[in-house]
Structure 1
Amino acid sequence: MPRYEYRCRSCGDTFELSRPMAESAAPATCPAGHEDSVKLLSTVAVAGTAPAPTQGAGGGCCGGGCCG
């Protein structure tokens, strides 16, 4: 289940809730009990291991050949 981050407009507390995507925009009550909150835009960092591009293997930024 996705986690969403919210900020309470009354006390300024930032908190997270796990809820279905269909309920992401529904009102959220902060841990202090205030009901006036706003959903924050969260960024997600994804790290992985991908092989480094090989020189001279073609491809390039536009399929090879035109970026010389």
Structure 2
Amino acid sequence: MPTYAYRCRECTDTFEVNRPMSESGAPATCPEGHADTVKLLTTVALTSSAGGQLPAGGGCCGGACGCGG
């Protein structure tokens, strides 16, 4: 189940909510009970054990799927 990050505009705390993708746009109340929250944009970091660099030429756009790579 995806985890979504939120920030409370009243107490400025940041918190996470686990919910299905179908409920990703639903409002979230902060742990302190405040309803004025905003969903944060989060990113996923991709790393490998090879010094933090991903190998070149891998994945779909490495030429395997014909997407112009």
TM-score, normalised to structure 2, is 0.68
State how far apart, in whole Å, the 2-side matches of 1:24 and 1:32 are: 21
Question: 2:21 aligned with 1:21, yes or no?
Answer: yes
Give the share of equivalent positions with the same residue, in percent. 66
Unaligned runs of 5+ in 2: 58-62
Q: How far apart are 1:51 and its partner, in Å?
A: 5.0
Q: Which has the larger radius of gyration?
A: 1
* Between structures 1 and 2, the one with greater helix share: 2
Give the aligned length: 56
Q: CA RMSD in A?
A: 2.4
Question: 2:17 aligned with 1:32, yes or no?
Answer: no
State how far apart, in whole Å, the 2-side matches of 1:24 and 1:52 are: 33
Paired letter, 2:35: E
Q: How far apart are 1:24 and its partner, in Å?
A: 1.1
